[in-house]
Amino acid sequence: MAASTVHTRSGQGPGGSWEFAMGSPHPRLRPGVMSYRGIRLALDRPRRRLETPIGAATLLLGFDQPVRISRTGRSPDTLVSVYCAPTTMPAVGEHGGRMSGIEVLLTPWAAFTLFGTPQHELVNRTVDPDELPHALATSVGELAAALAALPGWEERFGLLDEVFARWWAAGTPSSERVARAWALLVRTGGSIPVPRLAEEVGWSVRHLENRFREQIGLGPKAAARVLRLQRARRLLADGQSAAETAALCGFYDQAHLSGEFKAMTGYTPREFAQARQGPVAVSPAADRLSGEATSLVLPVRPNDWSVPGAHFSKTWRVG
C-alpha cells in the first residue's frame, strides 16, 4: 500500500530538539486506524506530561527508552511500547528526556479487532501490548524494532499500513452496529441519549451496554462523557467561553462542565488553560489530537524520576 503524505514539524532550542511527524493511515484501514504520529525528542531534562481522556485507544510503539505512566490508585508502569484503552481518568507520562517512537490512535472497536481482547478488561490500565492474548504473526516489539531500523517516517508509516492490514484480516471481527453506534456518539459529541443510540442501531439498552463494554471498553454513558469533554476542550481552546461551551456540549450549566472537567483531568477549565500557558508551554504539535488541547507539561523533580536507562543531570530546575 502506498504511504500517505507525511507532515513534519520540528524545533530546536536551549532545552534540546523535538520532531513530530503526522501521517494518515491508508484509506483501507480507516476509520478504525485513525492516525500515526512519529515522535523524536532529545531534551536536556526529563519530561512529565499529563494526558487527558480522549475518544480513542492508544498504541505507542517505542524505539528505545521507556516511559513511566501513572494513574491515580494504580502502581506506575514502566514500558517501551504501551497500549492504553479508552479511559475516564487522566494519566501522567514521564521519560528521561530522550524518546522516540510512533503513536497510533485507534477507534476502540478497531483495537478490539486487532488485539482480540475484551476492552473492558483494559479500561483505566496501561499494558505492554505483547502481553495481550492476541495471536499475531509479528509481535509488537518486533514491529517497533523494524520501524526503528527504517530511514524515515514515510517508510515507517508505510510499513504500519502493511502490518495493520495483515493483523486486521486475521483479527476478531467487531460488530458493525457497535462501530455505527460509536460513530453516532462521535458525530454528536456524546450528546445523543443512550436509549436513542440503542434505538438507532436496533438493540436494547442493555445489549448495547454489554457490547460496548466488550468492544469499546467503556459503557455508552461513560464513552459519551469522554466525547463531551473532548468537544468542550476543543471549543475552549478555540476561544469559546465556558458558559457557551457548556450549552453547546449538553452540560446542565457551567458548574456541571467544570465538575466534569476536573473529574476527568484533575483541573477546572480555567486551571487547565492557565497551565497550558505556564513556564513550560505545550507545543500544539505535541497534542495527541490535531486542533485540540489534550496535554499539559508538568513540573518534574529530578529525584522522582528513576526509569532504568535514563541519564540526566540533577542540577536543573523547571522554569
* 3-class SS letters over 206-269: HHHHHHHHHHCCCCHHHHHHHHHHHHHHHHHHCCCCHHHHHHHHCCCCHHHHHHHHHHHHCCCH
**Measured distance CA(126)–CA(123) in Å, rounded:** 8
Tens digit of pLDDT for each residue in 101-158? Answer: 999 999 999 999 998 889 999 998 899 999 886 656 678 999 999 999 999 999 999 9
Tens digit of pLDDT for each residue in 177-227? Answer: 999 999 999 999 999 999 999 999 999 999 999 999 999 999 999 999 999
* Domains, the chain, with CATH or none: 9-173+276-304 (2.60.120.10), 176-266 (1.10.10.60)
| Positive/negative CA dihedral, 214, 217, 219, 221 | negative
User: CA separation (Å) from 155 to 1, 3, 38, 150, 245?
Assistant: 11, 7, 11, 6, 41
Tens digit of pLDDT for each residue in 38-80? Answer: 999 999 889 999 999 999 999 999 998 999 999 988 899 999 9
**Measured distance CA(286)–CA(91) in Å, rounded:** 15
**Measured distance CA(267)–CA(250) in Å, rounded:** 20
Of 122, 128, 48, 54, nearest in space to 88 by CA: 54
Which cell numbers in the block locate residue 77? Answer: 508502569
Which cell numbers in the block locate residue 144? Answer: 517497533
